[in-house]
Structure formats: C-alpha cells, structure tokens
A and B are shown apart, each in its own frame.
Chain A
C-alpha cells in the first residue's frame, strides 16, 4: 500500500518537473520562430471564438457611441476653426524659416477582441497580415500611445500593451523637451527614467514620444506627470507618470502605418 502511494507521488512529481521545465524553456525562448508562429495561429483562433462578443458589443454600443460622437463632433468643429487659423499662421512662419513639411500619420482603425485586466499584458485586434499589418507598428487610441504590434496572424494581431513589464519607449518631456525613457510599473502608472535633475518639470506635463526610435513617430502623447522628486542621490529625478491611453472600456484602437 505504502509503495503504491510512493509511486503515485513520484509519477506526479515527475510530470510536474517536466511541465515546469517546459514552461521555463518557453520563458527563456520567447523569440523563437516556432513560438511566433504558434502565437499568430492562436491569435487568429481567438478572433473567431470571440466574434459573437464583438457582434453584440457593436450592436449595444452603437447608439450610445453615436450620441457621444455627435457631441464630440460639435466640440471638435469649434476647435478646428481655431486651429485652422493657427495652421495658416504656422505654415507662413514655416515657409519663412524654410522648414520641411512632415507627412501626417496614416491610421488603420481596429476592433479589440479581448478586454484589458490585470491578468492581460496584451490585446488582440481584428486586423492582420491581410490588412498589411507588420510587427512593431505603433498602436494608439484617441488619447495616446497604447502599445505596439508584436505577433501578426492572417486576420488578427497581438498588441503588446504599454503596461507590459518589458515595454520601453523613448520620450521627451517638459518645456526643454528633455529626453527620458518611459517604463510601466503597475496598472496605469509608470516612471520616466533618465530625466536630468537640472530640468524643471511640473505636475500635469505630458510626455511625448521622442521620435528617436525606429518604431514610434515623434509627438505621440504617452503619459502625464503626476509627481516629481529630486531629493535622491542619483543624477536623475524620480518622475511618476500616469498612462494617457484609456485602458478600461476601450473598443477600438488605431494602428499607425
């Protein structure tokens, strides 16, 4: 009886060791091509599984969103008329200074198939290689940077969220446009590393992408400064920030192409 029990325990321990070893191999080989292909296939399958959810969500939210959009449209028309005046003035000034003109971003809208929670470090969107999506394209919502594409299936794409532990983005912040690195900490919060102590930074200032990286164009809003601490023994100040992108109740995002 006792020997049977020992065999039973050993068999369980053996399978546990095998599964734990496999998990560790996966943890340390995230960049393998096989894993990439598997991720792309699972992403496509997940899109099919959650299609009824997207359908009823679309039906339920259409009227409410329509009302909100009408209000927003009126507000934006007023802002637009103001901005049009500034644009003409700005164009004239740029011509006087011989500035080159930047091309506007091309945005592809996409629906989200899963919802963000503390257990999720990624989202799946319903556009894929069929819509010319590639790896490492920035993803935005209406307010700010949300992440980047990480695994592209035929019909769906996995997006690494800005809240992911290993997400980093080069930013500029403050009046002096000082460089720094945005690092997420938990929930919708993060820190800016490498911001010089000599730079005056105020609560409420917005950090924008610097444009230095190959992935992110410049001037995409990333996070808002919520606290600044210069009282430390490092050459840089501690800057705590709040992510601007809406991480709750979002339905669609835009992929920068």
Chain B
C-alpha cells in the first residue's frame, strides 16, 4: 500500500471513529437506536479490499467499541465484528457470480446476524425473542440505510 493511500485510510478511520461518537441517536418510544457506523465502514472495506486486513481492522475497531461501551462483556464486539468482516468477504469473493439483489440480501443477513448475536447475549430476558428480533431488525434497517446512502451518493453504486 502506498504511503498516500495509507494516510487517506488512516484519516477515514479517524473520521469513522469520530462519526460513531457524534452520530445522533434515533428515539423510537422506549427504544434508542444508534446506527453502527463502524460496521458500515467494515462492510464497505471488506467488499472493496482484501478480507485478510479487514478482519484485523474489524477486530481493532470492535475492541475500541468494547472498551468504550462494554463492562462485563468486553470482547463481544471484537468477536462479532471479526466474524462479520470474514462474512462480508464472501461478497467480494463472489463478485462476478452473485447478482446485486443476492449481494444485498447477504449484506442485510450479515448485519442482522451481527445484531442478533449481540442482543441475544446482552438481553437477560431469554424468553423475549420478539424483543431481540425487534432490536436486531431496527438496528439492521438503520445500519443498512446508512450503507445504502453511502453506496448511492458517495460510491455511485460501485460497492454493490
């Protein structure tokens, strides 16, 4: 990787961290949603570049997120972010095989699984599948919304 490219990526990474800290919350009654900008960034990077580096990047970003947001489950975000980065890589590996709709479906599915694992672990009320699904779906919709906006307006549909 050239020095200038590396610097650009470092600047983007810092912007992602700042954006995650400053991004406004979405209040929906009792539920507060905050789109996971770090996950959107990881998905874009994993689709555009080599999966090997992105898994490491996802681990580091997840660890930072853990250190800021978690208390008793430190390592949870780094675990699910690494797993998600690996899964996003399949979209790049099947770039010429899968059509756009299938790629979108896989992306949404990975987002959903990411949030589902997270909420399944953090919510104590094991019987409340509806609540876990509700939180996971809302987070997936808003996170995919951010991805869609970036894909359409900044990347001009080059990602998917």
Check: A59 CB closer than 8 A to any chain B CB.
no
B76–A27 touching, CB < 8 Å: yes
Which chain A residue lies CB-closest to B69?
A: A120
A234 to chain B, nearest CB (A): 15
Inside 8 A of A118's CB, which chain B residues have their CB? 31-34, 119, 135, 139
B83–A188 touching, CB < 8 Å: no
B67–A42 touching, CB < 8 Å: yes
B70–A12 touching, CB < 8 Å: no
- Contact-residue size bin, chain B (C-beta under 8 Å from the other chain): 35 or more
Which chain A residue lies CB-closest to B78?
A: A23
B39 to chain A, nearest CB (A): 10
B52–A185 touching, CB < 8 Å: no
Q: Is the interface of A mostly helix, strand, loop or mixed?
A: mixed
B30–A27 touching, CB < 8 Å: no
How far is B72's CA from A39's CA once the two chains are assembled, in angstroms?
12
Inside 8 A of A20's CB, which chain B residues have their CB? 79, 82-83
Inside 8 A of B32's CB, which chain A residues have their CB? 115-118, 247-248
B142 to chain A, nearest CB (A): 11
B21–A122 touching, CB < 8 Å: no
B86–A16 touching, CB < 8 Å: yes
Inside 8 A of B139's CB, which chain A residues have their CB? 118-119
Q: Is the interface of B mostly helix, strand, loop or mixed?
A: helix
B20 to chain A, nearest CB (A): 10
| A residues contacting the other copy or chain, number (CB 8 A) | 51
Contacts A27-B75, A121-B71; A12 near B33 (Cβ below 8 A) = no
How far is B69's CA from A39's CA once the two chains are assembled, in angstroms?
10
Interface segment, one of A97-105, A158-166, A202-210: A158-166
Interface mask (B51-88 → A, CB under 8 Å = 1, otherwise 0): 11001101100111011111111111011001100100
Contacts A23-B82, A42-B64, A166-B72; A121 near B122 (Cβ below 8 A) = yes
How far is B89's CA from A15's CA once the two chains are assembled, in angstroms?
13
A19–B55 touching, CB < 8 Å: yes
Interface mask (A162-196 → B, CB under 8 Å = 1, otherwise 0): 00111000000000000000011111110000000
Which chain A residue lies CB-closest to B60?
A: A19
How far is B89's CA from A27's CA once the two chains are assembled, in angstroms?
25
Which chain A residue lies CB-closest to B122?
A: A165
A26–B68 touching, CB < 8 Å: no
Check: A49 CB closer than 8 A to any chain B CB.
yes
- Please list the residues of chain B having a beta carbon within 8 angstroms of any beta carbon in chain A: 17-18, 21-22, 25, 27, 30-34, 36, 51-52, 55-56, 58-59, 62-64, 66-76, 78-79, 82-83, 86, 89, 118-119, 121-125, 128, 131, 135, 139
